A and B are shown apart, each in its own frame.
Chain A
Amino acid sequence: MPLELDLPPFRCLESRPEVSISFEGRDLRVPEGISVAAALLLHGLPPGRRSAIGGAQRCAYCLIGQCFECTMTIDGVPYRQACMTTVEAGMTVERQVG
């Protein structure tokens, strides 16, 4: 899938120890303890599914576990909510159609 990476990256106000996660084969360094959704936003990547109807790229909308726009395949398990999942070293994150 092509990456449409045109969200202006968020910025983190604190410096925290970092961990590495992998997003569709790219290594990302991210602050520990934050959610997968926050980690992707920090890198200008939209944490979200691709709509099964029409294929549009969606992005985390509510960030409190209600909207399910942020569902991704995390460590091989589909339909995980990126906004409710905390990053862990070595975690793999992929977009899913759903």
Chain B
Amino acid sequence: MSTDRFDLAIIGGGPAGLAAASMAFACGLNSVLIDENPGLGGRVFHGIETERDVSILGTDRIAATTLARDAREAATVLSGHSVVDIVRDHEHFQIKTLHGNELRSASARRLLIATGARERSMAFPGWTLPGVMTAGGVQTLLKGARLVPAGPVVLAGSGPLLLLVAVQLLRHDVPVAAILDTTPIANIRRAMPRLAGALWSGSVLRRGVGLLASLLWQRVPIYRGVNTIAAQGDGSIRAVTFKAGKRTHRLDCALLATHVGILPDIQLAGLVDCQLRWDASIPGWTPVTDRNGKTSQDGVFIAGDAAGIGGAEAAPHRGRIAATAAAVELGAIAPDEGDRLVTLDRKKLRRLNRERAFLDTLFFPSPDVRVPQDDAVLVCRCEAVSAGCLRALAAADVAEINHVKSISRCGMGACQGRVCGPLAEETLKDATGRSAEAVGTFRVRPPLKPVPIGAYAAFASDDPPAEARFLYTADW
């Protein structure tokens, strides 16, 4: 198998990766842009390349169309390729991707991880029932396949995306029965001192106010201070029960969309062994980077939400800065030229950070959202490990998360702890009072996705230095 060689491999085709690709090209680098979706755009601009009528998209989606088109001209684009392993081979990174049922490989001198964020999960009784989805997932169906649920839909959780999805569904005549707001009331008081700084620095806040007004105008019931959510139903969800204040409510619904914020996707950073730190403001694990997105691993840069949640508006600036730093490292441009290229990006980022600080404080998830309250609730959906099981281990002083994994199988399924990781960490911290650092986070093991044995065999026959770990056996 011939391996294509590049100066820079950018993984992730969201705003950070797209802007990085164009900047890398401007700096004279030969780069490859890899994304597992069929088209470019990432999460926020998912489906942008197949959107029928660009004129109705609104200004930022039109700008994103340009971003994607420019990136296609600037880099070799591998769409529909999931990065499943990366190994260092002298001066190069060997990147293995899974494309359909086939393994491919590419090599590059520098890595730019721009894999974005994933949604934090909220676990409650019934959350594994068909008809319970993440709000981002429901939105992805709308953006990509142009699909909307039948409704009535209930949305539960906290954060700007929750309101956005509610308004997007209403716009397409999907009945929204209610919004169950889990934002702790005390957050509002804590966030207020940061309001003034945030007001004119970014657009999320202003848009958020607009969304809220739209929901009030359309008389969507919003319950505040919600807790004790449970999905009811047999084959699929039929209703949701919850507490707001002292009262218990029950609402019929056909879909429950939950959202309690997003976390950096640390899968690739973990795979290449970048140092992580606990960021108490999200709260969650975040890669350690300098102001250019350079990590603790030589030659590895991270940009966009994968480097810590900064939001969609900040992502392209962070992508440009990291691509420029990679170009400086490769000697393609001089350091002072690099600084000059990203002066405006840095200025914009400083402004956006003020808004981020406000949003992080306002939407800081409450402990009862982060920790499943009921012992019977599954934390690990793949291996069906309950919160009670984790608490029993914690009581026996087993609370380091990789130790817990080997005993309970929590995090050993196909998702490799992407969903249960944060829930398990919070449950163990809560049960033992230990720090995030003491509990730790799941070690990432290749391949990142199940690789069909046939694909491995075909790959290995072309490419002699086969690595036995590519066989997917025991853990799957």
Interface residues of B in 213-234 (CB under 8 A from A): none
Contact digits for A53-95, partner B, Cβ 8 Å, 1 yes 0 no: 1101111111111111101000001111101111000000000
Known contacts A38-B145, A42-B147, A53-B383, then 10 further A-B pairs from the complex at CB < 8 Å, ordered by chain A residue: A7-B131, A8-B255, A14-B52, A61-B381, A63-B137, A64-B43, A64-B136, A66-B419, A84-B36, A85-B100
How far is the CB of B323 from the nearest CB of chain A, in Å?
A: 24
How many angstroms between the C-alpha atoms of A14 and B50 in the bound complex? 12
Contacts of A78 in B (CB 8 A): 452
B134 at the interface (CB under 8 A from A): yes
| B82 and A38 contacting across the interface, CB-CB below 8 Å | no
How many angstroms between the C-alpha atoms of A65 and B43 in the bound complex? 11
| A61 and B133 contacting across the interface, CB-CB below 8 Å | yes
Interface residues of B in 407-460 (CB under 8 A from A): 413-415, 418-419, 449-450, 452, 454
Contacts of B137 in A (CB 8 A): 60-64, 83
Contacts of B37 in A (CB 8 A): 84
CB-CB under 8 A for A59 and B141, given A7-B236, A10-B147, A41-B147:
no
How far is the CB of B447 from the nearest CB of chain A, in Å?
A: 11
| A13 and B133 contacting across the interface, CB-CB below 8 Å | no
CB-CB under 8 A for A84 and B147, given A58-B130, A64-B43:
no
Contact digits for B50-65, partner A, Cβ 8 Å, 1 yes 0 no: 1010000000000000
| A77 and B254 contacting across the interface, CB-CB below 8 Å | no
Interface residues of A in 4-36 (CB under 8 A from B): 4, 6-14, 31, 33-35
B283 at the interface (CB under 8 A from A): no
Instruction: For A15, give the chain B residue with the smallest CB separation.
Output: B146
B382 at the interface (CB under 8 A from A): yes
| A8 and B149 contacting across the interface, CB-CB below 8 Å | yes
How many angstroms between the C-alpha atoms of A78 and B472 in the bound complex? 12
How many angstroms between the C-alpha atoms of A81 and B82 in the bound complex? 11
| A62 and B130 contacting across the interface, CB-CB below 8 Å | no
Interface residues of B in 69-115 (CB under 8 A from A): 80, 82, 100-101
How many angstroms between the C-alpha atoms of A68 and B141 in the bound complex? 16
| A67 and B419 contacting across the interface, CB-CB below 8 Å | yes
In this complex, the interface size class of chain B, counting residues with CB under 8 Å from chain A, is 35 or more
| B145 and A8 contacting across the interface, CB-CB below 8 Å | no
How many angstroms between the C-alpha atoms of A85 and B36 in the bound complex? 10
> Which secondary structure characterizes the binding site on chain B?
loop
| A62 and B119 contacting across the interface, CB-CB below 8 Å | yes
- 8 CB contacts below 8 A, A to B, read A8-B149, A8-B151, A12-B146, A34-B147, A35-B144, A61-B137, A71-B450, A84-B82
How many angstroms between the C-alpha atoms of A84 and B149 in the bound complex? 19
| B144 and A68 contacting across the interface, CB-CB below 8 Å | no
In the A-B complex, the 8 residue pairs with the smallest Cβ-Cβ separation, listed nearest first, are A59-B130, A63-B137, A38-B145, A8-B150, A34-B145, A68-B414, A53-B384, A79-B450
How far is the CB of A41 from the nearest CB of chain B, in Å?
A: 6
Instruction: For A44, give the chain B residue with the smallest CB separation.
Output: B150
B118 at the interface (CB under 8 A from A): yes
How far is the CB of B470 from the nearest CB of chain A, in Å?
A: 14
| A10 and B136 contacting across the interface, CB-CB below 8 Å | no
Instruction: For B134, give the chain A residue with the smallest CB separation.
Output: A62
How many angstroms between the C-alpha atoms of A1 and B469 in the bound complex? 34
B201 at the interface (CB under 8 A from A): no
How many angstroms between the C-alpha atoms of A64 and B43 in the bound complex? 8
| A38 and B141 contacting across the interface, CB-CB below 8 Å | yes
Instruction: For A33, give the chain B residue with the smallest CB separation.
Output: B50
B148 at the interface (CB under 8 A from A): yes
How far is the CB of A44 from the nearest CB of chain B, in Å?
A: 9
CB-CB under 8 A for A77 and B452, given A46-B130, A53-B383, A61-B137:
yes
